[in-house]
Amino acid sequence: MLNTSQTICHTNMLKPQANHHHTKCPQSLLTGQHKVVVVAAGDGITRGVDSRSATVAPTVRFLSLKNHRLPIKRNLGFHATRPSHQIMAIATDKSSPTTTTSTKICLVNLSFWSWLQPMWTMTGLAKDTIKHYAHRSTKLNETKYEADFEVPIDFGEIGAILIENEHHKEMYIESIDLQGFPNGTITINPNSWVHSKFDNPEKRIFFTNKSYLPSQTPSGLKDLREKDLASLRGDGVPDGPRKKHDRIYDYDVYNDLGDPDKKPELARPVLGTKDLPYPRRCKTGRHRTKSDPLSESRSSGVYVPRDEAFSELKNVTFSAKTVYSLMHAVLPSIRTNMLDKELPFPHFKSIDSLFNKGLHLPHLETKGFIGNAMPRLLKFVEDTQRNVLLFETPASLHRDKFSWLKDSEFCRQTLAGLNPCGIQLVKEWPLKSILDPEVYGPPESAITKEMVEQVIGGLMPLEQALEQKKLFIIDYHDLLMPYVNKVREIKDMRTSLYGSRLLMFLTPSGTLRPIAIELVRPPGNGKPQWKQAFTPAWDSTGAWLWKLAKMHFLAHDTGIHQLVSHWLRTHACTEPYIIATNRQLSAMHPIYRLLHPHFRYTMEINALARESLINSAGIIETCFSPGKYSIEMSSVAYGLLWRFDQQGLPADLISRGLAEEDPYSPHGLKLAIEDYPYANDGLVLWDAIKGWVTNYVTYYYPDPNLVTSDNELQSWWTEIRTVGHADKKDEPWWPILETPQDLIEILTTMIWVTSGHHAAVNFGQYDYGGYVPGRATIARVTMPCEDPTDERWERFKDNPELELMATFPSQLQASQIMSVLDVLSTHSPDEEYMGQKMEPSFELEPKIKTAYEVFAGRLKELEDIIDARNADPNLKNRHGVGIPPYQLLKPFSKPGVTGMGVPNSISI
């Protein structure tokens, strides 16, 4: 007697290899046969369904990217047909009952054969072959391959599927549905590229959506679990350049930013050493340079494991394509158009013209993909028949054209702007450097008690201001001072640098007032230390010097924002988490599945950054004040400032003196500045994330012993500390991992960094930095009062606006930076936001599904909370005339430059 049911395996979708920007692989048609092995979670015995002898008359839909212009459109009318074959299903035991299930496997866009591997060991004996047939089924725009075959009813629960691609090119499999089993449809979501067997004979292993701790893994899957991890670690694979189809995750130091073989002056030091500590990056295996055996050679693309690459299935009009086109087409066109790279803006009208007239780019074709990918930037003007780079007016400038001049806005942005992570409470007086005075001069600050009390007037004396926690500082003095003379000696770039501080006072209205900016030059080149404190002034000379001092400090703050708050603390420090997660946590591990959405595209965007942004002579080096020392300076910041235990928002606020623990205050913290938009909104988001993580972790780890006995989890955390952040491995502040609560704190911190922290420092870049005077990336000349010649001082007196223009970035630098900020501030059409998409593995467990729905609901509540706060006239740091609302931590957004939206991951 047969118990007949239908099993359908949907494999969406088969996609040919497209030319990817990380490779020079040729484009080709997708043809030929593919073989898939389905592994069931039963008794550990492999049974097979062999399409090489299966009856199939399939029609395969595929497309060629060869000679096609992007964006890609599928060719639905081009098909290939293969002859019929017979399918064979292998049973388990000759002596077992003969009851079987008739199973149909339907494969969208490909044909393959499959083995079902049970999860628990039974007799260990092979059964007779069961034969049936497959046929083609076409429905709407899908072409499916169906295989009807009978398997024993005791075959077992399916735990994984193995796929072997018999084509010469890779294919992409999006999803597989097995329908007709007694307990309903079994869905597997590979969302993965499968290499050709001619590139790598290993079969790909895809587990079902059910999660297992290592100790709970069914016996039939244990070997596969370890085999898959060994493949991801690259066990047994010889060293050498990684290939595009590889999926190997391994560590290396940052030794690929320089290009000494091209020019000796493009050599850069290795980051990830005792003297220059740094997080580790993904190993590419490229050969060393001829000029420097410590440096890795550069190439036209940077390897990332195949599934870390930007999706080519969704919205090919954005993501990596946009960034790549910007770096390799738009920026070179700008440079070609501007013969004098140091040419300053002659006046403010020339800056404004970037928003109303644009920049003519005669050598750039704006039609086709480039124009479609960057419609905000690139325009074709019909009446002049010209291609132009035309910038949108930034939101802050649109609301108040003169906001950049205002001291109130200057201070407000330290709480609600692009870099709200640098402000600290002043805890000691007088202000003093800890650098060696023999090298850097007297350590005492030029900001005196008398200066402070003169600015804050009769409100209170200095001692009372300190006691009542009214003084706040952003202090870059000790971080920048070692590089001041080095930066000033750069020959092929016009730039300057100081050690700097900004001191502010918290007014009764809850806003900040600037007290002073200190700029310091250390001794060197036969000159003594120079330092001066600048304050808001009521005379013309003092007022202009104050404006210029603000420009210098903002250039420093913009550099620290980009190099430390943004690149280092989010992009660079997260990459080791991604590598360790893939090397040590199985794809069926619940913690892997929790973290996976928060690592989407990060390694790819980091690779692009190493290729074109932070590399020698890249955008950062050529457009920011520290020049070629920029990334080296971020290494110093990592060594001095970075601690994992202070990356979570509450710990970060406490470490900066901006909060203290208080069980009676919201979120258990009392803020030193009550109207601190970044902290106010961020803490609501932090609590939502922590609540979700708590529910998730306690479900899978109800007993603390499960944490300590989880060998994958312990190896993961050990590898992050000792390999991924190897230069910090002996620090005493690393959290231990012994209890579910330890794990909750670690995971919440990681997820916060990839979501809330990154969103706060990234997606406002164009709105706050898109207008050159408002937030310049570089101060190109020194202050006119630093050792002035008579001639320069007279020039300054006669036309101070020219001094300001000379301080701003050049026209070339500004155009390049504005282009980059626009693209990096843009949400992709396929962006995945926090709480928006439930992972299939979450849906499978009712308690996890409910917990995620609660989490998503809290994020929707946060939207309303932020809207209400922005409408509250009592919150003057986010509401007022000309003030843009603070929306960077609103969870959701439409595509484009919106100044809001918190994606799951660092995807841009």
Catalytic residues: 566, 571, 758, 762, 908
Q: Using omega within 30 degrees of 0 as the cis cutoff, is the peptide bond preceding 903 cis?
A: no
Distances, alpha carbon 473 to alpha carbons 155, 238, 428, 466, 660, in Å: 68, 52, 11, 12, 17
b/e 520-554 (16+ beta carbons within 10 angstroms → b): bbbbbeeeeebbbbbbbeeeeeeebbbbbbbbbbb
Distance CA 540, CA 550 (A): 15
Number of H helices, E strands in the chain: 29, 25
Rounded to 10 degrees, the C-alpha dihedral 885/891/892/893 comes to 40
Q: Residue 526 phi/psi, 5° resolution?
A: 80, 5
Strand 171-173 relative to strand 192-194: parallel, antiparallel, unpaired?
Answer: antiparallel
The label of the residue with tokens 């704190």 reads: 745
Indicate the angle between helix axes 740-752 and 677-700, nearest 10 degrees.
140
CA distance 779 to 627: 11
Structure tokens, 637: 């910041």
CA angle 651, 653, 657 (to 5 degrees): 115
Picking from 769, 768, 766, the residue whose alpha carbon sits closest to that of residue 826 is 766
601 torsion bin: left (phi>0), alpha (psi -120 to 50), beta (else): left
Q: What are phi and psi of 108, to 5 degrees?
A: -80, 125
Q: Is the peptide bond before 241 cis (omega within 30 degrees of 0)?
A: no
Give DSSP secondary structure letters for 292-334.
-TTSBPP-SS----GGGSPPSSS-TTSTHHHHHHIIIIIHHHH
Tokens encoding 831? 């962006």
Could you tell me which of 74, 198, 51 has the C-alpha nearest to residue 136? 51
Which residue, 806, 811, 810, 814, is CA-closest to 781? 806
Give the separation between CA 453 and CA 539, rounded to whole angstroms: 19
Chain mean position to CA 903 = 10
What is the secondary structure of 555-567 as a DSSP string?
A: HHHHHHIIIIIII
At how many degrees (to 10) do helices 800-807 and 540-560 cross? 10
Length of the chain equals: 908
Rounded to 5°, the CA angle 797-803-805 comes to: 145
Can the peptide bond before residue 430 be classed as cis, meaning omega within 30 degrees of 0? yes
Instruction: Find all residues with CB under 8 Å of 15, minimum gap 6, and list them.
Output: 30, 171, 172, 312, 313
Q: Give the phi and the psi of residue 518 in degrees, each rounded to 5.
A: -110, 130
Give CA–CA dist 885/905, Å, rounded: 24
Burial call 296-327: b when 16+ CB within 10 Å, e when fewer: bbbbebbbbbbbbbbbbeebbbbbbbbbbbbb
* Ranges of H-type helices in 489-539: none
β-pair partners for 132: 87
Write the CA distances from 298 to 146, 261, 709, integer angstroms: 47, 9, 43
741 burial type by CB count under 10 A (0-12 exposed, 13-18 middle, 19+ buried): middle
Which residue, 259, 319, 329, is CA-closest to 289?
259
3 state DSSP class of 433 = coil
Residue linked to tokens 């990356």: 647
Residues 641, 634: Cα–Cα separation, whole Å = 10
